Amino acid sequence: MAGEYYELRIYRIYDFEKQKIADQYMEQALLPALKRQGVNHVGAFHSLKDENDHSIYLLIAWPDLETFASCNEKLGADTTYQEAAKPHTDRPLKDGVFDRIETRLMKAFTGMTSIEVPEGSSAGGERMFELRLYESHTEEFARRKVAMFNNGEIQLMKDVELGPVFFGETLAGPQMPNLIYMLSARNDDQHKKHWKAFLDSPRWKEMKDLPQYKNTVSKIQNWFLKPAPYSSI
């Protein structure tokens, strides 16, 4: 079964007022336009724990590479989008909303080929997310870490209710080779409880000691995020 492609797009914003303008752009212009292109799952997130980070983290689930590649051309021809986007796009040279946009393109793992929207998202319930990035020191060890997820680690995360949302192997972006995935919970306390269940699991202890999975991760980064009101995830 063919899997989704994911784009993690980070709008680097250093001002709360500019963040509000960007949020309005996402809610009223970009996300509706993407939906018209057949893109149904777009997560929009703010930092949960860093009050000085006003960036917007956008997770876009592309159904295929053609939809991804044709997006900007379609936005250029979408008059409804163009009109709604003006407060964000039609700005003076020295007064842009964001500093830069960082982006990473990923391919879904075979062990989880599409986004799984957390229970409670559609109802707007309380939820938080952890975005995790695993670097590997060679391409081979990166492949082994993906295999480890596909061959049991994803299922274990589901079983202990860590709430995985997606797993993506990075095809293009910084810090390669790496993979990125996202977990979800109602709140931080629940998330910590689920992590403890994972780390205490006999299945995890057995899996992590298998020779083929040794030294597959050289560095871990993580971000704690909260969904914007208009996020579909």
Q: CA-CA distances (angstroms) from residue 58 to 26, 193, 218?
A: 9, 27, 26
Query: What's the average model confidence in pLDDT over 56-78?
Result: 97
Look at residue 230 and tell me whether its pLDDT is greater than 60: yes
Q: How many CB atoms lie within 10 A of CB 38?
A: 10
The CA distance from 97 to 60, in Å, is 20
Look at residue 143 and tell me whether its pLDDT is greater than 80: yes
Q: CA-CA distances (angstroms) from residue 114 to 68, 78, 80, 107, 227?
A: 16, 27, 29, 10, 19
Query: What's the average model confidence in pLDDT over 15-25?
Result: 96
Name the pTM for this structure: 0.94
Domain residues of the chain, as ranges?
A: 5-227
Backbone angles phi, psi at 4, to 5 degrees: -75, 165
Query: What's the average model confidence in pLDDT over 50-76?
Result: 96
The rounded radius of gyration (Å) of the Cα atoms in the chain is 18
Distance of CA 173 to the CA centre of its chain: 14
Look at residue 122 and tell me whether its pLDDT is greater than 60: no
pLDDT band at 2 (very low <50, low <70, confident <90, very high): confident
Query: What's the average model confidence in pLDDT over 83-93?
Result: 95
The CA distance from 100 to 67, in Å, is 23
Q: What percent of the chain has pLDDT over 70?
A: 97
The CA distance from 230 to 124, in Å, is 9
Instruction: Report pLDDT for 91.
Output: 94
Instruction: Report pLDDT for 208.
Output: 95
CATH architecture for the domain at 5-227: 2-Layer Sandwich (3.30)
For the chain, the average pLDDT equals: 95
The CA distance from 150 to 142, in Å, is 13
Q: Are 128 and 188 in contact (CB under 8 A)?
A: yes
Query: What's the average model confidence in pLDDT over 24-53?
Result: 96
Query: What's the average model confidence in pLDDT over 171-177?
Result: 97
The CA distance from 67 to 48, in Å, is 31
Query: What's the average model confidence in pLDDT over 168-184?
Result: 97
